[in-house]
Chains A and B, each alone.
Chain A
Amino acid sequence: MNINISLKKMLVIAAKDIKTYYGKPPSLFYGIVLPFALFGAFLAGRPCVTEEYRVVGVTVLSTFFGGTTIAAVVLPLERRSGTIDRLILAPISFKTLLLGKSLAGFMFSFPVTLLVLSIILPFTGFWNLNPLLLVVSIALSVIFSCAFGLAFSASANDVADVMWPMNFVRFFMIFFSGVFMPIDEIYLFMPSLKFIAYLLPLTYSVDAVYQSIVGINDLMMLITDFTILITITVMLYYIAYRRFIKTLT
């Protein structure tokens, strides 16, 4: 299919999802309320956390929960109401359809994260912040999160069926990926388990955002962050596609 037509249809699907699903309670709760409530709870419990980690934490939580939630909410809701059939029956490739769905997640999470940062950053002293790198890091993190949500929801019929397993994985990831404090501190008493952090893609998202805010301190690591995030995102989209196709058999 012509790339312009595919892009146009992705936008059409995303625009419809924005109109239809952004205001739904699961989108608002899991996409906005929950990550900020988690962040607030953590700050109350660990006031000693450094300023840069507060900003990194809120940024990554916003990208991760926003992106994963919309993708995970939209598909099951469409399937439950039967409207997914309308999209399947339209002359659109399934890849375009799924990318359109994740674009809706991107258009939710990306501006929300930027808005939150634009409110927070003036009160911080991060003069080494690299705005372009920050935007790219946030965008990549959001795209990865959308793919993650899509992979979970591609064959689900109900939001609850997605949220239960996805929250299990999401919480595991945010606690072991250095979202709230440096990885060294997390694994201080069990350094041999530090490898777990490097198995979790969110770790690379955290590092990319961290280096964008405090300044690049390890270029190789930053390149690794981007490479791994892109690779995992492609893999997750492939998984989502296979799972989606399987629903038609």
Chain B
Amino acid sequence: MQNKNARESENAGEELKVAIEARGLTKQYGEFTAVNGLNLKVFDGEFFGLLGPNGAGKTTTVKMLTGLTKPTKGEALIMDANIMERPLDVKRVIGVVPEVSNIYVEMTAWENLLFAAELYDVSRGEAIERAKMLLEVFGLYERRNDKAANFSKGMRRRLAIAMALIHSPKVLFLDEPTSGLDVQSTRNIREVVRRLNRDGVTVFMTTHFIDEADNLCDRVGIINRGQLAALDTPERLKQMIGGKLSVEISLQPIPSLEELKEVSSDVTKTGDKFIVYTESPSTTLSELVKLANVKGWRIISVRTLTPSLEDVFVKLTGLTAVDVERLELIRPSGKGRSRE
């Protein structure tokens, strides 16, 4: 429960141990600036999400933080060690899962894991033990002797993550870990990563899935056009942008819009539901219940809606709702305002 401790300590204003730090990280490719002066601290045991549209600079940020690319300006520190000055020390404590599942398809899952273990000086006995455990956790043990070429995209992804964990890293970088995966693989990966974080591993994850960041991360940074547009806990980010609160209600028989305007003038109808915008959801809710009793309507469902992380994302990145829909095509569950 180290991450919880980290949050509690943060609230108490205590000095926290920094696991990942970006100081003015900048990356330029010719005239194009992919990341511009990024300053960021991720605390030990924290689950941090970097959210942003495609091309915002998420992958470049991970590459600079892990030593895959040299920053044009600024520096990256992992556990107080500068990646450019002490690369081997840093690489020993980090596990990295890049956007592309970088496994050797000509080798079996078992061979891939043992090869990764040898790269990190994991002893033979420990490597075998960990490889077995990781393959079981990721549901690949039965297929351990199959060449990775025969694996589905989800299985390859799970194997890539298992390889990144073979040396028990203290800090795990995940670049779009569930992008384009089936539901089973996505759930498996999220569950394993959540468990790792609970066990004290600091997780730095990039994603363009808003619900993923909202559900998994202690804090979220929103990056747009190479710059950090916002950085806070998901809930504080939602509060930050303000916006209208509302009550969503479904009634039987379905009343007319005019009838509901007795409660509030700002009502819209979506499908068989009504959304009543309000400053005070609790007052509106009791008025709606009272109206339903008077009119003899049966309440099928009711819930209050607050601004979602998607609203924050849209506001800060300047994307339209249609753009966000496109980003979330694979998992439509993350759309819309958050339910409470």
**Are B91 and A91 in contact, CB atoms less than 8 angstroms apart?**
yes
Which residues of chain A have C-beta atoms less than 8 A from B121's C-beta?
5, 91
For chain B residues 39-84, which have a beta carbon within 8 Å of chain A? 66-70
**Are A16's CB and B115's CB within 8 A?**
yes
Given the complex, which residues of A lie within 8 Å of B237, measured CB to CB? none
Mark each residue of chain A from 83 to 98: 1 if its CB lies under 8 Å from any CB of chain B, else 0. 1011111111100000
**Is there contact, CB below 8 Å, between B107 and A86?**
no
In the assembled complex, the Cα of A89 lies from the Cα of B83 at a distance in Å of 11
Contact A89 B96, beta carbon cutoff 8 Å: yes
Assess whether B91 is in contact with A81, with CB atoms less than 8 Å apart. no
Q: How large is the interface on A (under 10, 10 to 19, 20 to 34, 35 or more residues)?
A: 20 to 34
- Contact among A8, A12, A87, A249 with B70 in the assembled complex (CB-CB below 8 Å): A249
Q: Bound state CA distance, A12 and B107, in angstroms?
A: 14
CB neighbours (8 Å) of A93 from chain B are 88
Q: Which of B69, B105, B118 contacts A249 (CB 8 A)?
A: B69
In the complex with contacts A12-B118, A91-B88, A85-B107 CB distance below 8 A:
no
- Does the CB pair B70–A89 fall under 8 Å? no
Q: Is B66 touching A89 in the complex (CB atoms < 8 A)?
A: yes
* Chain B: minimal CB distance from A154 (Å): 16
> Residue B102 contacts which of A20, A83, A249 (CB distance < 8 angstroms)?
A83
User: Once the chains bind, are A20 and B119 in contact (CB under 8 Å)?
Assistant: no
Q: Nearest chain B CB to A133's CB is how many angstroms away?
A: 36
Bitwise, A1-24 to B at CB < 8 A (1) or not (0) is 100010011001000100110000
Residue total for B at the interface (Cβ-Cβ under 8 A): 28
- When C-beta atoms are compared, the residue in chain B nearest to A83 turns out to be B102
Give the chain B neighbours of A81 by CB distance below 8 A: 100, 102, 105
Are A83 and B103 within 8 A (Cβ)? yes
Question: Taking the complex as formed, is A191 at the interface, i.e. its CB lies under 8 A from any CB of chain B?
Answer: no
Minimum distance in angstroms from B61 CB to a CB of chain A: 15
Query: Which residues on the A side are within 8 Å of B103 (C-beta)?
Result: 83
Interface string of B150-163 (1 = CB under 8 A from A): 00000000000001
Bound complex: CA A144 to CA B115 (Å): 28
- On whether the beta carbons of A19 and B88 are closer than 8 Å, the reply is no
Tell whether A82 is near chain B: CB-to-CB under 8 Å.
Answer: yes
**Interface set, chain A 47-86, CB cutoff 8 A to B:** 81-83, 85-86
List 3 tightest A-B contacts by C-beta distance, closest first.
A90-B119, A82-B102, A82-B100
Q: What are some 26 contacts across the A-B interface (CB < 8 A)?
A: A8-B118, A9-B118, A9-B119, A16-B115, A19-B106, A81-B100, A81-B105, A83-B103, A83-B104, A85-B98, A85-B102, A86-B116, A86-B119, A87-B119, A88-B67, A88-B68, A89-B67, A89-B96, A90-B91, A90-B119, A90-B120, A91-B89, A91-B91, A92-B88, A248-B67, A249-B70
Residues of A within 8 A of B (CB): 1, 5, 8-9, 12, 16, 19-20, 81-83, 85-93, 248-249
